[in-house]
Amino acid sequence: MLILIAGPYRSGTGGDPALIAANLARLEEAAWPIFQAGHVPMIGEWVALPVLARANGAATAEDVLYPTAQRLLQHCDAVLRLPGASTGADQDVAIARDRGLPVYHRIEEIPGHLAPSA
């Protein structure tokens, strides 16, 4: 499956680049376990941030981040919703549910998940 990882990115950061980076790192922490489970992880910001950077000021984050996730969800098979307040992640979940896609709230719920070795 192609699984969109959804959770806070800019939410709760006040625009602080260090807090935004920490949020992205939390999203990315889920990528390896999803991959190990035999799936392809996807984070909307992986696609949206280079697009936004190349817009050279012609677009805002809202012009690119949310639409990118919406477009990605046309190709995704499921969503992993990580904890934390996030309007964008909530929109992703709503779109996934409208499309009848599974929405997971814990990595352990994803088919093929391997329990970590002790």
32-43 pLDDT tens trace: 999 999 999 999
Measured at the alpha carbon of residue 13, what is the angle toward residues 97 and 54, in degrees to the nearest 5? 75
Single pTM value for the model: 0.92
Q: Is residue 102 scored above 90 in pLDDT?
A: yes
Domains and CATH numbers, the chain: 2-109 (3.40.50.10400)
Write the pLDDT tens digit of every residue in 4-54: 999 999 999 999 999 999 999 999 999 999 999 999 999 999 999 999 999
Token pair for 70: 């919406």
Picking from 10, 8, 57, the residue whose alpha carbon sits closest to that of residue 30 is: 8
> Per-residue pLDDT tens for 48-87?
999 999 998 898 888 999 999 999 999 999 999 999 999 9
CA 26 to chain CA centroid, Å, is 10
